[in-house]
A and B are shown apart, each in its own frame.
Chain A
């Protein structure tokens, strides 16, 4: 469904992705693991159109989206929940969700989707008129995910949903991600928290300074000695 073929990007003179290729099948959770600075966020930003690849190709449903604008890519059904949540703090929760549905015209359907999302994220319904900046970190993450889902994407790109959250909240967020997945969304999950990501992912790619060094199904990756020592503290 989503394919990267030898994608290169650079910030100024620094090459950031050096020929990354991977594929995501419909309905899968794919994890992209790696240390700080490996290029995980860059991969997601390149897919969602915030960064243009300097070479290579990104295909979504067999159509190239390498030079499409972020707006066009959202419309096609790829939603990106950015690192650090980036919710609109001065807007209230309802307005954040409405903006998530910006590309859609159907307001009654939008309301329905919002109600359905409140089943997964009940706390958002209680905070509807509250400024998003006043939410706790976990609630902000839930809002960011819900906002991403409001565009009715078929692929959800999640960038470090566990960032800065207490372990109990991380588990809660991951339960929610699994629920979203069970409802039929394809998910690309970027994480430093490899243990959590590997628990829910079907497959994983390990990224090191801009290159994929390891790929396979999540269990194999989790058991590989390199990953054990580098990311899971075992070995």
Chain B
């Protein structure tokens, strides 16, 4: 294979991995925005907590059982992290956002920034300000397709995220709760006239969004083998960019936006400079906001009178 093509594909693959993580976080932003028109800036912190919970689970398991099978450790990391984050999401919604339903959107937005600071500092107090390392869970295995290498880690990221996205798409399209979510996203008052409890839908949305962020957190911690209490900030901001890029409120948009952002970053890091990696994401945000503020799949349906 042509070496420059191989380099391109390698960067593409690397970008795809991190893009999936962005996409999983972006889904939470876009789902919450859909039902509440709220940018939940604390969402990045939920992702970070997910990473911490995964590491905690891994530390305990590897300490207690020296030769626990990899699959079991992985599964328990996911279960522990998802459960914890889903509960955290429901709790934050109940305590911070529900009392503000009906108040101006800006109030809830500022509250979400407050929740974000609160969670960062709470984690710092509990775990300390140094990063938490992940004990080796996944064996270091590289696979090759021709000259392109990918790690077991990347394979896990791709498999987990793609199956979650397929699951989520089916859930939103076919289940009763999924339809209720779409109805609330469009018109909460009309949805309540159908007998849909908007409160329950909002809670379910936070639970699902936080669960997805938890998965992203586990994958992130596996990939970088450590988590720091401010990791949620940058990842959250980038995932938010991805959600806007894809069209905020649109679920497929968040998936596409996340993946494209990751690929864009990967290619930028590979061809220009990895030091400028973070800049690319925000350049992309600015460009999108100038030329297509509604994002790739953002839609505006005019109301027919």
**A70, B194: Cα distance in complex, Å:** 8
Contact A84 B179 (CB under 8 A): no
How many B residues touch A, CB cutoff 8 Å? 21
Q: Number of residues in A with C-beta < 8 Å to the partner?
A: 33
User: Across the interface, do B196 and A137 meet the contact criterion of CB distance under 8 Å?
Assistant: no
Q: Write the nearest CB–CB distance from A45 to chain B, whole angstroms.
A: 9
Contact B189 A86 (CB under 8 A): yes
**Chain B residues near A99 (CB, 8 Å)?**
179-180, 183, 191, 194, 196
Which among B186, B195, B299, B305 is the interface contact of A74 at CB below 8 angstroms?
A: B195
Cβ contacts A71-93/B at 8 Å (1 or 0 each): 10011000110101011111100
Q: In the assembly, what is the distance between CA of A149 and CA of B98, in Å?
A: 31
Any A CB within 8 A of the CB of B100: no
A203 at the interface (CB under 8 A from B): no
Shortest Cβ distance from A127 into chain B, in angstroms? 14
Q: Tell me whether B189 and A82 are in contact (CB under 8 A).
A: yes
B180: chain A residues at CB < 8 Å are: 99, 102
Say whether A70 contacts B193, CB under 8 Å.
yes
A35 at the interface (CB under 8 A from B): no
Cα(A137)–Cα(B183), bound, Å: 19
> Which residues of B sit under 8 angstroms from A140, Cβ to Cβ?
304
Residues of A within 8 A of B299 (CB): 90
Cα separation A98 to B182 with both chains bound (whole Å) = 13
Q: Is A164 an interface residue (CB 8 A)?
A: yes
A9 at the interface (CB under 8 A from B): no
With A90-B301, A95-B179, A164-B305: A102-B186 Cβ-Cβ less than 8 Å: no
Q: In the complex, which of the residues A50, A91, A102, A135 contacts B195, with contact meaning CB atoms closer than 8 Å?
A: A102
* CB proximity of B104 to chain A, nearest CB, Å: 14
Q: Which of A49-77 contact B (CB under 8 A)?
A: 50, 69-71, 74-75
Considering the chains assembled together, what is the distance between the CA atoms of A151 and B192 in angstroms? 13
Cβ of B301 and Cβ of A82 under 8 Å apart?
no
Chain B contacts with A in 190-230, Cβ cutoff 8 A: 190-197
Q: Does B129 sit within 8 A of A, measured CB to CB?
A: no
**Extra contacts besides A102-B196, A163-B305 (17): CB < 8 Å:** A71-B197, A84-B303, A84-B305, A86-B193, A88-B183, A91-B179, A91-B186, A95-B182, A98-B179, A99-B179, A102-B176, A102-B180, A102-B194, A133-B301, A136-B304, A137-B304, A151-B194
28 pairs of residues in contact across A and B, judged by CB atoms under 8 Å: A48-B193, A50-B189, A70-B193, A71-B192, A71-B196, A74-B195, A75-B195, A82-B193, A86-B187, A86-B190, A88-B182, A88-B187, A90-B182, A90-B186, A91-B179, A91-B182, A95-B182, A99-B179, A99-B180, A99-B194, A100-B194, A102-B194, A102-B196, A133-B301, A140-B304, A151-B195, A163-B305, A164-B305
